[in-house]
Amino acid sequence: MRDHMLTAIDAAAGLEALDAVRIEALGKQGRVTQLLKTLGGMTAEERQEQGPRINGLREAVATAIASRKAVLETVALDMRLASETIDLTLPADAPLAGTIHPVSQVMDELAEIFADLGFAVATGPEIEDDWYNFTALNIPETHPARAMHDTFYFPDEVDPGTGAVTKRTVLRTHTSPVQIRAMQAAGGNTPIRIIAPGRTYRSDSDATHTPMFHQVEGLVIDKGITLGHLKWTLETFLKAYFERDDIVLRLRPSYFPFTEPSAEIDVGYSVVKGKRVIGGADGWMEVLGSGMVHRTVLEAGGYDPDVWQGFAFGCGIDRLAMLKYGMDDLRAFFDGDVRWLKHYGFSSLDVPTLSGGVGA
């Protein structure tokens, strides 16, 4: 019986056939199950002899089924992968209906607005060194801000000899590490004006948080930079971005490890048909974090803080998009639902320009 069953298992040509063999052997009425039932009616001696034999059979059959199942599943997957390929190089027979995602659109709008103010676009890696993401930004190992970031860590790289950690990497929790990279690239002796838009990651998920989201960072380094420059720049940016002149800013004292002093930027909103709209002064909405670059951060970037000053700011791009274009659930941004993309997406011909309107 054992050989017969094992042969049948090996011969099963597909998952359905294998399941039929399984039911025949191990199902409620299965042959092995029936055998197991006979143990109850045996004398203790008989059971001592037959028990291990029948249980051994059950185990051998179950193991053989499991390994055959793994093989058949791999074959089935390979077949599916081979049959479901799409040749992306084929010309489409219908006109392409794709739209520009609002996040891409807003990134283009940011680049356009800030280019006009003399800012270049800088980038940095999304898999970031712990030093750039935290330490160089004045967030040492023991700093509570590390816990606040819900960081995705990679396994530490360890020296096999000493056991010491040689490299610690994270999915960057903010775009701020690009500040350090931009300073290093500039060599410590030239002014900087950059924005750094890009993907960021935190282990968080609800209507206003997704594990991957987008931020834009801004950094200005020069001699004689003050909070006044920061306020003017952000006011000019927000007026251009929201395309209205009645943008009112409130700088609220706050704390970020990488800036001193730090300010949260609240923007005035008005209520139109029950919805909050940026502009006016019915209430305040927190939009950006900002401040004067901390001495420690300037030093980490290779700048002498007694000679150079700077301001920095950061905010969520997805949130900027929601505030301007009226979506209220962030998760829908990343669902890839064509109906949502049709509704909120932009035509590829709507390139934002300051002269034509960045709102497209």
* Residues in touch with ligand DAH (CB under 6 A): 174, 176, 217, 256, 259, 289-291, 312-314
The residue among 314 and 352 lying less far from ligand DAH, judged by its C-beta, is: 314
Among 239, 236, 230, 234, CA closest to 259 = 230
The residue among 18 and 312 lying less far from ligand DAH, judged by its C-beta, is: 312
Residue 150 to residue 144: CA distance in whole angstroms: 11
Distances (CA, A) of 220 to 152, 223, 309: 29, 10, 8
The residue among 105 and 176 lying less far from ligand DAH, judged by its C-beta, is: 176
In the chain, which ranges are E strands? 120-121, 127-129, 157-158, 165-167, 169-171, 192-201, 212-222, 249-256, 259-272, 275-278, 283-293, 309-316
The residue among 18 and 171 lying less far from ligand DAH, judged by its C-beta, is: 171
In the complex, least distance from residue 193 CB atom to ligand DAH, rounded to whole angstroms: 14
The residue among 105 and 290 lying less far from ligand DAH, judged by its C-beta, is: 290
In the complex, least distance from residue 312 CB atom to ligand DAH, rounded to whole angstroms: 3
In the complex, least distance from residue 27 CB atom to ligand DAH, rounded to whole angstroms: 57
In the complex, least distance from residue 144 CB atom to ligand DAH, rounded to whole angstroms: 14
Residue 151 to residue 143: CA distance in whole angstroms: 13
The residue among 124 and 291 lying less far from ligand DAH, judged by its C-beta, is: 291
In the complex, least distance from residue 23 CB atom to ligand DAH, rounded to whole angstroms: 56
In the complex, least distance from residue 172 CB atom to ligand DAH, rounded to whole angstroms: 10
SS3 199: strand
Residue 312 to residue 197: CA distance in whole angstroms: 13
DSSP per-residue letters across 91-154? PPSS-----B-HHHHHHHHHHHHHHHTTPEE----SEEEHHHHTGGGT--TT-HHHHHTT--BP
